[in-house]
Chain A
Amino acid sequence: MNTKIIYKSWSVLDQYRTLLATLMLVMALQLSYGQGTRTVSGIVYDSDNQPLVGATIIQQGTTNGTTADFDGNFTLGIPETSVVLEISFIGFKTASVTVGENNSETIEVTLEPDMLSLEAVELVAVGYGTMRKSDLTGSISTVAAEDLAKGTLSSTEQVLQGKVAGLTVVQGTGDPSSGASLRLRGGTSLTASNNPLIVVDGIPGVDINQVQPGDIASVDILKDASATAIYGSRGANGVIIITTKSQSAGFSVSYSGLSGVSFASNHLDMLSANQWRRYVRDNGVQGAIDYGAFTDWQEELERLAFRKSHTISLSASGEQSGLRSSIHYMENEGLVKTTSLERLSANINVHQFALDKMLRFDIGLFATIDKWHPLDYRIFERAFNLNPTIPIYDQNGAFTEVAGTLYENPLEILAHRTTDDKRNRLLGYFKTEMDFTRDLKGVVNLSMENNQRTGNTYKPSTAVLEGRTEGGYGQKVYEEYTNLQIEAYLTYTKELGNHRMNLMGGYSFLENTYEGFGAQRSGFETDLFGYNNLGAGQDYRLGDVYSYKGKSNLVSFYARANYSYDNRYMVTATVREDGSSRFGEDNKWGFFPSASLAWNLSNENFMDGTKNWLNQLKLRVGYGVTGNQDGIGEYKSLSILGVGQDSYYDPATDSWKQAYAPTQNPNPDLKWESTEQLNVGIDFGLFSRISGSIEWYQKTTKDLLYTYQVPQPPYLVGTMLANVGELSNTGIELTLNANVLSTDRFSWDANLTLASNEQKIEKLSNQVYETDVIYSGSLHGLSGMSNQFSQIVKEGYPVGTFWGYESSGLDENGAFILSEEKTDIGNIQPDLTLGFGMNFTYDNFDFSFSTYGMFGQKVLNATNMMLYDPNRLPAYNVPDDFLSSGITSDPTFSSYWVEDASFLRLQNLSFGYTIPMDKVFSNFRVYLMGENLMTFTSYDGVDPEVDISGLANPGIDRFNNYPRPTTISFGLDITLKN
């Protein structure tokens, strides 16, 4: 629960007539006149006789009121006449006290807890403020810190894996330096980004890895358009609002440590050296060369990988100020030698009140340094290719080299190249909150995010790939981006009897600047410098040095009104107007409205009869329009000249000069992709033990941006970015939380998320651009498959539809039996995604597990497609199963290799014990945890969880077989409080 208590005094308010020059005209402001001629004072307690800090005291029927101070005391100016005071506090039943005409005694009030409303006052971040959960009209899921995924996580996305219905988190590889991809309710775009907008502590558009999992207090996921429309052009893919931990009262310091070991959960079963020899002997294979060794190339690439992380956090808070700070160090070794991710991050946030707590300042800073060693992924294909009898080292101790295509020693590739990458992330903000009146608040948030990456590569002149032909090759690249943002908004909250109203309006400005440069050189006389002295390289080619820079602006105006009556009827409306520099002259501005309604049936009188089992029942319906402009790049509407590979020879000077040429078809009509979404939801609570929600949505993205092929002439180049198509997603989501059993010593909780989404391309053409089909899922680079595609983007099909021959197995000669025509042979979209977990506690013991799964999605097992090739033996290795497969045909793309990749993964299992040391530590818990312990799947490849993002090759398992780790770790959490 996320209950916010605000300490402040309004007693001076009555003395002044407040004139407010408002930033926004959307808000009509009620002025408050003080008319007090006498003062009444009192004290508010809860049922435990503790002072109730922050309780609201209001003169009935007026706006005259105050709040209780730190000791529960209040004073209020009231008229001479007899008045009724209403004393209320979230989570308590409201009490009324009549103050007689001449009564001047100190009033003592005790508020009784209101169990029902205690649930209802959970606050949920909705973007530019919070809202009572009970007032919500849109589709928003909330995950509290304790429910986030745990473990030796390398990227923050992973905390949400399996936790939110409709949010797919795919970790495509076991490489610790690669992130996961996020998709909410299917993708909405072919060209622009499909990543949800990440908002960290109110700052939109932040890299999710700015925040470390340990610093997260809660995550709110805005799913439908009525919830995300307040982010307008940035909200089409959903919004993930991360609230970091704030200062807790008093002082505390805590430590969390985790240390573990990882090993590969699965391998591809290739022939061992002895199996290979037996095959050669038994079949009398000619020309087979036995090199005499026993090498398992896959295992040789790997190691037992150690992982560790330490986090120390400190929190201190007084009446006027507070501070929270944490420092985090992590080192995750990769299973493949040389790979790892090392992270050092620090976070500090401070707040300070001023002017009788009417002014609050917040300063926050997040800094992260990541270091890793990018891997040459070609090693996996080599590991499958190499004959298992080849020794790793030859007699001289050097790496064995056997000539052949794609036949380089993968251990040599690993050993003889240096790759050092580093990323620095910085996020800082300065936020001012000002309470103009009790109801009207202004917020100005200035923020800066800066993300820098440095990449260094050196391939010595001895390296088989590139190094030798280049005579040593060194490269340094640097890239960075900076987002500067101003967010300024006003909120106005009013509660009058049964009416509750919340208005918000604001302005934001975003400036994104990106720039970078790089240099590469080859022809080094010595390899001693590595990448540190590129000047020593003697070969210089045009294009070896480059730099770039670009900038874009986004300007927004937005407003939201939320009204609820008697906790029964709620309505929310939002508008946002966004202007983006990226679009054409006439289409720079986009308008994104939304409206939603909710009806809390359980608060209706006629539902009284079912209250004993149906604790909550709320119906919601919302509609809205959101946009997308991310990932399409700048300057696409302009006619521009660029330099590139456009050099020309000048015979007069016998030299090469740079040519300038038009580079693109400008599209001055370029505009926003807009996504319309209708959402219907039901929230329910049963038997005071089960709560959950069901959502149905339909969303349609119009003016889909895509780089269309255009006729040449009249167009300058063959492609042009244009708004043409239409894409729809329809789905159902179910979230269930259950408190199965709860006794003094034992508790048992369970949670389940289920989601199903159906995607369809509705349109790819309009009057100007006609596209029948776009080919995607490239197989280029696989032997014999140059410029071949495995997927289509076509009207009536989802993105990532495999299009090929239907195979009905093998004929008696071992040839594939294929259909005459190519057809739809499955798609990469899962029919169902699932997350399921349980938590148990028994006295000081705790036990929990969590699983996630995806069902119905197809994966092209291109690894097997190429390995089950009768031409491979004896020189190239094959999987064990190839020998019994009977396949005699050359590799052919067909449904034979398109597999059902449904899976269910036991991702986390932990067992903990809290050592009772209350005298010293408020918490002292030790635990054992296992990650990725079991995967249930019928998929034949190394791992069924294959990246499905992008258009290039989603859902294709193609020698990117970085093994997925299974990790066993030991952890310790200690908290010291005073």
Chain B
Amino acid sequence: MLFIELNSSKMKLKYLTILLSGIASICLVSSCTDLEEELYDKVKDDDFGTTPKEVEALVGGAYSSLRGFSDEISNSFPTAEYVFFLNEVASDEATIPTRGQDWYDGGRYQDTQRHQWDSENGMILSAWRYCYTGISKVNAIIYQIDQSGLEQADKDPIYAELRAIRAYYYYMLLDMFGNVPIVTDFEDQELPANSSRSEVFDFVESELLDVLPNLRSEIIYSKFTKNVAYTLLARLYLNAEVFVGTARWEDCLSMCQQVSGYSLNPDYFANFVTENQNSNEIIFAIPYDSDAGTLGNYLHSMTFHYLHNLTVSVTGNYPWCGNGICAQPGVYSKFLDTDKRKASMLEGEQINLATGSVIIMDSGEPLIYTEEIIDFTNAKQNEGVRLNKYEVKEGEKWERDHDLVVMRYAEILMMQAECHVRLGSAELARPFIDQITQRAGTETPQTIDLDYLSDELLREFIFEGRRRTDNIRFGTFFEPWWEKGVTPKTHGIFPIPKSELDKNKNLEQNPGYPQ
């Protein structure tokens, strides 16, 4: 008889035991030791990049890398703070004075101002990491595209775009650090060694020339097209003498001549308004949109006085400002009053819109931005004229909406002008310069020489983050100015950050810096 009479506690217990053992053994052999990780809100790299839409999202990541980042190690934004600050403060157009205790920050701006930076300067690390984080990301994306099932013909234009973006990063490294490692393979886990500055130059040149045929010819805002590659090559050749010791003025000219489809915008500041994507002068820009969650675009909050919001909005509806970077003394007066570009700076009394009177600082003094900075290690709150190039609007968010202009047609004109002057035909430069000065409301001088060009470049491109490169090319970088003495030739490139040398024993410090 199959019926089991469970008539005693002991019997019940016995069967319960057998039942439990059964459950337990099922458990032990099956899922109860499963330690695979299940993903929900993320995706494994192998599972992504198979559809064109996914590939597009991957390539998008290479473009978004251009906006930089901020992490626990560095703040690496090209728009504000340390990548931008480094190049500006090292040049003759800007300064970040220490005001009381504010903006001392371990002396990093003072050291940079005096051209006495060392390899532990956090801004130098920021610039290095901006480039290499971008490069690593592009390498990873190239690897992802390798793995994708796309046809070779579909892959080629994608590779071209990605390699061009990578070349742009390497161009910046070439300019700032010179002798840097070249890494192009995501899977290569070796610690890389330096390449020489001329090897880096050759790499940037050959990469750009190599991908040019596969880049798109039409004007596509914010994308790496043929025109952008030509402009970058022109920049490369313009500075070739600095980079590798051999001048390439003709090559620069021929690249400039390839750029087509752009024109100067009659309104200089139309390039810097919030909706600047509509300007036909812009060759390459990094787009920003506060609503899209883009980060790092808060330069105006780094320059204006703490109470500046009252000058923008009756209710003070403008983001907090930190009273930092401003123009070096002498820069403001380099502009004629008729020069429209002078409005790139803000000088004078600042009016409280609510009261109509001048803002009073907490020292009891009126807020008047002055060109003079008496002691840049202990400046007054109001000293220094402020950066005012991009549009300032009431009710703006901390993250501003305007796109960062990287290349615009004015640069093509100025490069050609400079090459002609360098090649000894200053008069050939005049038509190019005339376009620039006419728009600015000034006049081209009788003699177009390098001194004039240097000043005109300052006026045209002030606070666009490129002045250091121009200073070096014109040699002024190494001469004393304002708060600094003679700069050693070796300081034309920055030292490789100490923390990078510590982590990678194959890296060598740049000459002229302590090992």
Q: A555-B32, A660-B57 are in contact. Are A649 and B41 (CB under 8 A)?
A: no
Within 708-744 of A, Cβ neighbours of B (below 8 Å) are at: 709-719
Nearest-CB residue, chain A, relative to B501: A711
B98 within 8 A of A: yes
Contact of A645 among B38, B72, B294 (CB under 8 A): B294
| A283, CB-defined interface residue at 8 Å | no
Interface presence of B246 (CB below 8 A): no
Q: A residues within 8 A CB of B106?
A: 787-788
A469 touches B183 (CB 8 A): no
Q: How far is the CA of A661 from the CA of B63 in the complex (A)?
A: 11
| Structural contact, B136 and A712, CB atoms closer than 8 A | yes
Within 8 A of A (CB), among B83-124: 98, 100-106, 122
Q: Which of A469, A579, A634, A657 contacts B57 (CB 8 A)?
A: A657
Instruction: Give chain B residues whose Cβ lies under 8 Å from the Cβ of A19.
Output: 14
Contact with B along A938-971 (1 / 0, CB 8 A): 0000000000000000000000000000000000
Of the candidates A581, A642, A871, the one whose C-beta lies within 8 Å of that of B101 is A871
**A551 CA / B319 CA spacing, docked (Å):** 39
| A432 to B: closest C-beta gap in Å | 9
Nearest residue in A to B47 (C-beta to C-beta)? A641
Question: In the complex, A378 Cα to B90 Cα: how many Å?
Answer: 35
Question: Is B374 interfacial (CB-CB < 8 Å)?
Answer: no
Contacting residues of chain B (38-66) with chain A, CB-CB under 8 angstroms: 38-46, 48, 54, 56-58, 60-61, 63-65
Name the B residues within 8 Å of A810 (CB-CB): none
Contact check, B104 vs A784: say whether CB atoms are below 8 A apart. yes
- CA gap between A12 and B11 in the complex, in Å: 11
Contact A713 B136 (CB under 8 A): yes
**Number of chain B residues whose Cβ lies closer than 8 Å to a Cβ of chain A:** 106
A785 within 8 A of B: yes
A613-657 toward B: CB 8 Å interface, digit per residue (1/0)? Answer: 000000000000000000000110111111001111111100011
Contacts of B317 in A (CB 8 A): 468-469
Q: How far is the CA of A780 from the CA of B88 in the complex (A)?
A: 23
- 9 pairs of residues in contact across A and B, judged by CB atoms under 8 Å: A358-B13, A640-B44, A641-B48, A642-B42, A660-B43, A662-B45, A711-B503, A783-B101, A786-B103
Selected from B13, B45, B292, B294, the residue in CB contact (under 8 A) with A436 is B13
Chain A residues near B (Cβ < 8 Å)? 12-13, 15-16, 18-23, 286-289, 355-356, 358-359, 403-405, 407, 434, 436, 442, 444, 468-469, 471, 486, 488, 507, 509, 515, 539-543, 547-553, 555, 579-582, 588, 634-635, 637-642, 645-652, 656-663, 707, 709-719, 769-772, 783-788, 869, 871, 874-876, 890-891
Given contacts A509-B32, A712-B132, whether A581 and B37 have CB atoms under 8 Å apart is yes
Contact, CB under 8 Å: B105 / A787? yes
Structural contact, A713 and B183, CB atoms closer than 8 A? yes
| Cβ contacts under 8 Å, A581 to chain B | 35-37
Chain B residues near A355: list those with CB within 8 A: 9, 12-13
Tell me if B289 and A649 are in contact (CB < 8 A). Answer: yes
Q: Collect the chain B residues with CB atoms within 8 Å of residue A656's CB.
A: 289, 291-292
Q: How far is the CB of A9 from chain B (nearest CB, A)?
A: 9
Enumerate the 7 nearest inter-chain pairs by beta-carbon distance, A residue then B residue, closest first: A287-B364, A875-B362, A661-B61, A648-B60, A659-B60, A784-B101, A649-B287
A335→B223 CA distance, assembly (Å): 57
Q: From B181, B287, B293, name the one whose CB has the most chain A CB atoms within 10 angstroms.
A: B293
Assess the A442–B20 pair: CB atoms within 8 A. Answer: yes
- Give B residues with C-beta under 8 Å from A: 8-10, 12-14, 16-18, 20-21, 24, 27-28, 32-46, 48, 54, 56-58, 60-61, 63-65, 71-75, 98, 100-106, 122, 129, 132-133, 135-137, 139-141, 144, 181, 183, 186, 188-192, 220-223, 277, 287, 289-295, 306-307, 310, 315-320, 359, 362-365, 395, 397, 499-500, 502-504, 507
Q: How many A-B residue pairs have CB under 8 A?
A: 280
Query: Once bound together, how far apart are the Cα atoms of A771 and B73, in whole Å?
Result: 14
Of A434, A645, A890, the residue contacting B100 (CB under 8 A) is A890
In the assembled complex, the CB of A232 is this many whole angstroms from the nearest CB of chain B, namely 15
Given the known A-B contacts A488-B24, A581-B36, A662-B45, are A469 and B136 also in contact in the complex, defined by CB atoms under 8 Å? no
**A12-B10 contact in complex given A469-B397, A548-B41, A645-B294, C-beta closer than 8 Å:** yes
| Partner among B35, B140, B293 whose Cβ is within 8 Å of the Cβ of A647 | B293
Residues of A close to B188: CB separation below 8 A:
713-714
With contact pairs A287-B363, A639-B45 given, residues A772 and B502 touching in the complex (Cβ less than 8 Å): yes
Residues of A within 8 A of B45 (CB): 639-641, 662
Give the distance in Å from the alpha carbon of A857 to the alpha carbon of B45 in the complex.
47
* A659 CB contact (under 8 Å) in B43, B63, B365: B63
Helix, strand, loop or mixed for chain A's interface? loop
A559 to B: closest C-beta gap in Å: 15
CB <8 Å contact, B41 and A876: no
Residue of A nearest to B499 (CB): A709
From B9, B42, B307, A635 is in contact (CB under 8 Å) with: B42
* Chain A residues, CB < 8 A from B24: 23, 488, 507
From A289, which residue of chain B is reached at the shortest CB distance? B364
Q: Are the CB atoms of B64 and A638 closer together than 8 Å? A: no
B315→A468 contact, CB < 8 A = yes
Residue of B18, B38, B140, B310 with most partner-chain A CB within 10 A: B38
Residues from chain B with a CB closer than 8 A to the CB of A788 are 105-106
Given contacts A23-B20, A787-B75, contact A648 B364 (CB under 8 A): no
Using Cβ atoms and an 8 Å threshold, which residues of chain A touch B42? 635, 640-642, 663
Complex: chain B residue closest to A359, CB-CB? B13
Given A662-B140, A890-B100, A714:B315 Cβ within 8 A: no
> In the complex, which residues of chain A have a beta carbon less than 8 angstroms from the beta carbon of B183?
713-714
Provided the pairs A403-B310, A788-B106 are in contact, do residues A635 and B37 lie with their beta carbons within 8 angstroms?
A: yes
Contact partners of B186 in chain A: CB under 8 A = 716
A770–B101 touching, CB < 8 Å: no
Assembled-state Cα–Cα distance A287/B16 (Å): 88
B28: A residues at CB distance < 8 A: 507
Across the two chains, which residue of chain A brings its CB closest to B103?
Answer: A784
CA distance A542 to B103 in the complex (A): 32
Task: State the Cβ distance, B209 to closest chain A Cβ, in Å.
Answer: 23
**How far apart are the CA atoms of A640 and B41 in the complex, in Å?**
10
Q: Would you call A784 and B289 a contact (CB within 8 A)?
A: no
> Known: A645-B295, A659-B60. Contact between A891 and B101, CB under 8 A?
yes
A498-B222 Cα distance, complex, nearest whole Å: 86
Name the one of B35, B46, B57, B122 contacting A588, with C-beta atoms under 8 angstroms: B35
The residue among B41, B98, B122 with the most chain A CB atoms within 10 A of its own CB is B41
- B45 CB to closest chain A CB, in angstroms? 5
A555 to B295, CA, bound (A): 41
CB distance from B409 to the nearest CB of A (A): 18
Residue of A286, A548, A635, A652 contacting most chain B CB atoms (<10 Å): A635
User: Could you say which residues of chain A place their CB within 8 Å of the CB of B10?
Assistant: 12-13, 15-16, 358
A289: which B residues are within 8 A, CB to CB?
364
Set A549, A649, A719: member contacting B72, Cβ < 8 A: A719
Q: Is the CB of B362 within 8 A of A647?
A: no
Question: A788 CA to B277 CA in the complex, in Å?
Answer: 38
A710 touching B503 by the CB < 8 A rule?
A: yes
Are A713's CB and B192's CB within 8 A?
yes
Say whether A543 contacts B223, CB under 8 Å.
no
Residues from chain B with a CB closer than 8 A to the CB of A663 are: 42
- A635 vs B37: C-alpha distance when bound (angstroms): 7
The listed residue with most B CB atoms (<10 A of its CB), out of A288, A515, A783, A787, is A787
B503 and chain A: residue at smallest CB distance: A711
C-alpha gap A959/B141 in the complex (Å): 45
Residues in B with CB closer than 8 Å to A469 are: 317-319, 395, 397
Is B41's CB under 8 angstroms from A890's CB? no
Determine how close the nearest CB of chain B comes to the CB of A692; give it in whole angstroms: 43
| Residues from chain B with Cβ under 8 Å of A436 in the complex | 13, 17
Bound state CA distance, A583 and B13, in angstroms?
Answer: 41
Across the interface, which residues of A come within 8 angstroms of B17, CB to CB? 20-21, 434, 436, 442
Q: B503 to A709, Cβ gap below 8 A?
A: yes
Taking CB atoms, residues of chain B closer than 8 Å to A471 are 395
| Set B73, B100, B189: member contacting A714, Cβ < 8 A | B189
